[in-house]
Each structure stands twice: as structure tokens, then as C-alpha cells.
């Protein structure tokens, strides 16, 4: 029982580390400049 809980905790930590790494990679590879969005709310301009 304790061994299964340990595996569950290790698996959850691995998922968190992978998700955090993917988020950081995505944020660092964003293009710099101005972002223009056109959707049902209208047009929005955001500087990165």
C-alpha cells in the first residue's frame, strides 16, 4: 500500500515538472512584438 502511494506521488511530481517545463518553453519561444487578435469580442492589440 505504501509503495503504491510512493509511486503515485512520484508520478504526480513528474507530471508537474513536465507541465512546468512545457509552459516555460512556450513562454520563451513566443514571438516578441505586437499581437493582434480578431474574435467575436472584436479586435484587440497587445504588446508582448
Q: Dig out the grid coordinates for 27 from the structure.
A: 513562454
Q: How many domains does the chain have?
A: 1
pLDDT of res. 32: 81
- Distance in angstroms (rounded) separating the CA atoms of residues 30 and 35: 10
Phi, psi of 44 (to 5 degrees): -130, 140
Contact criterion met (CB below 8 Å) for 45 and 35: yes
CA distances from 2 to 9, 10, 25 (A): 11, 12, 35
User: 25: domain range?
Assistant: 2-47
Q: Which residue has the cell 493582434?
A: 36
- Per-residue pLDDT tens, the chain, 48 aa: give them: 789 999 999 999 999 999 999 999 998 888 788 888 999 989 998 886
Q: Which residue has the cell 509511486?
A: 7
Amino acid at each position: 500500500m505504501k509503495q503504491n502511494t510512493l509511486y503515485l506521488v512520484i508520478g504526480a511530481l513528474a507530471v508537474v515538472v513536465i507541465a512546468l517545463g512545457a509552459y516555460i518553453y512556450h513562454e520563451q519561444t513566443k514571438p516578441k512584438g505586437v499581437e493582434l487578435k480578431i474574435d467575436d469580442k472584436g479586435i484587440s492589440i497587445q504588446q508582448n
